[in-house]
Amino acid sequence: MDAITRIERTLSTEVGRAKAPGCPPSLAAAMDHAVFPRGSRIRPRLCLAVAAACGEDRPRLTEASAAAIELLHCASLVHDDLPCFDDAPLRRGRPSVHAAFGQPLAVLAGDALIVLAFQALARGAAGAPERLATVISIVAGSVGVPRGIVAGQAWECEANADLSQYQQEKTGALFAAATASGAASAGADPAAWRTLGERLGEAYQVADDVRDVMSDAEELGKPVGRDSVLGRPNAVLRLGVDGAISLLRRLAEGAIEAVPACRGAAALREHIISETQRLVPRHLAARAA
Amino acid sequence: MDAITRIERTLSTEVGRAKAPGCPPSLAAAMDHAVFPRGSRIRPRLCLAVAAACGEDRPRLTEASAAAIELLHCASLVHDDLPCFDDAPLRRGRPSVHAAFGQPLAVLAGDALIVLAFQALARGAAGAPERLATVISIVAGSVGVPRGIVAGQAWECEANADLSQYQQEKTGALFAAATASGAASAGADPAAWRTLGERLGEAYQVADDVRDVMSDAEELGKPVGRDSVLGRPNAVLRLGVDGAISLLRRLAEGAIEAVPACRGAAALREHIISETQRLVPRHLAARAA
């Protein structure tokens, strides 16, 4: 079965629990809206690819780790879009959860998705209970305090903060959890796998910066997008388009070098090359080649 | 060491992690504000009492279960107090978290406390990894979907809902998790312990209804409190003060009868009698005696 089928099947099963009798239908619908239809699923695919490279032997736990990371990613988008943060009316080309369901259900759907991530892990560890605490520590650490995405988001509420550093940390945290939990799910040492995730997270953040500037420029005739409006750090504003794309390439190369020795290293490097190539918009790929 | 010392020590250690380098100080302060100074800690004390009755053999896991339940309770208060729900300016006689720190940090502090609850469980299970998945399933099930407190709160967003039933379920969920996770932490069968928690939760809800009506009546000269203003079900408004206190006594008796056979049953019954007596305000205790 291919990676995306495994991921979507696990997410459907987990989010489907919200549709069980006794659950308020609007909450179930809001959770569904937050998770489907799918985005790129880049983090859970990375998690599965690392587990495979490590000689995956507990597929249910790997799938649960991948799903948990995606559920937490979706939860963070729902809460970050709230009026008290980004006040974003759209997400993936559709109304954001609070725009579609109201603020109360957006707060609750985010909360429920966080809890669901840990329920999924507990269920997925049935065949490997001795790995559960490690996987939970990795996944929870990437979300909570002191250095997870919630902490990263909270830096935006501080008067004196190096937003560039914390934005990077915020993106990097879930990518590092994807690689480390993929390894831990397969019984490998997770610590060796964090650098790969951090570098990929940084590359993804730069790619996001490029999209923020360039898709607006293309589609709306505006030179800059939301980062500029919200006063956020953006690699394109700092380095120019060519500079940002060069940086992206260097980060992608650094990620490939960070793959630890393992049975499936060659296939994993191929996966990373293919993924990072997709990060550069096609019409820009030639510019810094 | 007495129960409250064990609970406060574990909560201090866990919330203390938010003060580690790298965590935004305002988020750490908001989390601290949400958890300290202590409320009654009725749920974690119940969890410890049940574990003791079952012959507690993994004290760190019991303490982690108790702390996780209290952290999740505190998180739910922070989010329920938000302007889009109860818009409550005060909690435990002090400004609510959003009143003191603003809405963004209140959303994030609630999120971080939810995540911290699962981190605490993973850490507490170091000596008993085979019990972790069960405890997580119990605790997470009481918070998430389809029947946890988040789902209970979401019923308030539904046009057609029996609020009385769902309010009861919402309170009962964490109490049932307290008894069931106390048992599971001690290696006992959690299923046998749910009824006790549910009945205590119902008794606690009635006591809360009494306080909602009577403390306003005493202190502010108003006959009714927040439930009436918010159109919420309240046992005193439905049954009168004497009727509500009679109901509370019957529920307390039912809870005592629901204690399963176990080594420490006698001591646990004493604990429950003492706890439920404290639920009735002293000046009302004589009325329905």
> For an interface test with B, which of A23, A111, A135, A155 has the most B Cβ atoms less than 10 Å from its Cβ?
A111
Could you tell me the two tokens for A38?
A: 């799918």
How confident is the model at residue B220, as a pLDDT?
Answer: 36
What gap in Å lies between CA B30 and CA B98, rounded to an integer? 9
Distance, C-alpha B138 to centroid of its chain: 14
Nearest one of B124, B123, B83, B126 to B106, comparing CA atoms: B83
A34 to chain B, any CB pair closer than 8 A? The answer is no
Question: Per-residue pLDDT tens for B247-281?
Answer: 999 999 999 999 999 999 999 999 999 988 888 77
Q: Looking at the domain assignment, is residue B22 inside a domain?
A: yes
A45 is a domain residue: yes
Structure tokens belonging to residue B188? 């006992």
Cα distance between residue A111 and residue B76, in whole Å:
9
A141 in reach of chain B (CB within 8 A): yes
Residues in chain A, pLDDT under 50: 217-218, 220-224, 289
- Distance, CA of A30 to CA of A109 (rounded, Å): 6
Which structural domain, as residue segments, surrounds residue A267? 3-284
Q: How high is the pLDDT of residue A221? A: 39
Q: Which amino acid is at A105?
A: L
CB atoms within 10 A of CB B165: 12
Q: Is residue B16 part of a domain?
A: yes
Give just the sign of the alpha carbon dihedral A119, A124, A126, A130: negative
Residues of B in contact with A84 (CB under 8 A): 102-104, 107
Q: How do residues B62-100 score in pLDDT, each as one tens digit? A: 999 999 999 999 999 999 999 999 999 998 889 999 999
Which chain A residues have a beta carbon less than 8 Å from that of B116? 140, 144-145
The answer to whether residue B289 is domain-embedded is no
Which residues of chain A are within 8 Å of residue B124 when distances are taken between CB atoms?
A: none
DSSP one-letter string for chain A: --HHHHHHHHHHHHHHGGGSTTS-HHHHHHHHHHH-S----HHHHHHHHHHHHTT---HHHHHHHHHHHHHHHHHHHHHHTSTTTT--SEETTEE-HHHHH-HHHHHHHHHHHHHHHHHHHHHHGGG-GGGHHHHHHHHHHTTSTTTSHHHHHHGGG-SS--HHHHHHHHHHHHHHHHHHHHHHHTTS-GGGGHHHHHHHHHHHHHHHHHHHHHHHHHHTS-S--HHHHTT---HHHHHHHHHHHHHHHHHHHHHHHTPPS-TTHHHHHHHHHHHHHHHS-GGGTTTT-
Residues A226, A215: contact at Cβ < 8 Å?
Answer: no
Which CATH number characterizes residue A89's domain?
1.10.600.10
Q: A145–B105: do the CB atoms touch at under 8 Å?
A: no
Question: Is B266 inside any structural domain?
Answer: yes
Give how far B277 is from chain A: nearest CA, Å: 32
Spatial separation of the C-alpha atoms in residues A85 and B161, rounded to whole Å: 31
For residue B14, what pLDDT is reported? 97
Work out how many domains chain B is built from and give that number. 1
Residue A289 lies in a domain: no
Q: What is the pLDDT of residues A191-214, one digit of tens each?
A: 999 999 999 999 998 988 888 887
- Dihedral angle of Cα A257, A260, A265, A266, to the nearest 10 degrees: 20
Minimal-distance CA residue of chain A relative to B20: A146
**C-alpha B14 chain-centroid distance:** 18
Residues of A with Cβ-Cβ distance to B26 under 8 angstroms:
154, 157-158
Please answer yes or no on whether B155 and A125 come within 8 Å at the CB atom: no
B188 touches chain A (CB under 8 A): no
CB pairs under 8 A between A and B: 206
Contact A73, A113 (CB under 8 A): no
Looking at residue A231, its pLDDT comes to 75
Of B21, B107, B122, the CB nearest to A140: B122
Q: Is B192 on the interface with A (CB under 8 A)?
A: no
Q: Is A100 on the interface with B (CB under 8 A)?
A: no
Q: Which residues contact A99 (CB under 8 A, 6 or more apart)?
A: A89, A90
Task: Walk along chain B (289 residues) and give the pLDDT tens digit of each residue.
Answer: 899 999 999 999 999 998 898 899 999 999 999 999 888 899 999 999 999 999 999 999 999 999 999 999 999 999 999 999 999 999 888 999 999 999 999 999 999 999 999 999 999 999 999 999 999 999 999 999 999 999 999 998 888 777 766 777 788 999 999 999 999 999 999 999 999 999 999 999 898 888 888 775 445 333 447 777 777 788 888 888 899 999 999 999 999 999 999 999 999 999 999 988 888 777 776 665 4
Q: What pLDDT does residue B126 have?
A: 93
Residue A99 domain flag: yes
- Write the residue in B116, B140, B156 that is nearest to A122 by C-beta: B140
Q: Is A25 on the interface with B (CB under 8 A)?
A: yes
Interface check for A20 against chain B (CB to CB < 8 A): the answer is: yes
Residue B167: per-residue pLDDT: 73
Structural domain contains residue B39: yes
- CB distance from A239 to chain B under 8 Å? no
Nearest to A157 among B105, B115, B144 (CB): B105
Which among B22, B133, B145 has CB closest to A126? B133
Within 10 angstroms of residue B25's Cβ, the number of other Cβ atoms is 11
Q: How far is CA B203 from CA A22, A84, B180, in A?
A: 22, 37, 17
Alpha carbon of A232: minimum distance to chain B alpha carbons (Å): 17
Query: What is residue B183's predicted lDDT score, i.e. its pLDDT?
Result: 98
**CA-CA distances (angstroms) from residue A88 to A75, A229, B83?**
14, 12, 19
Token duo for residue A148: 């997870």
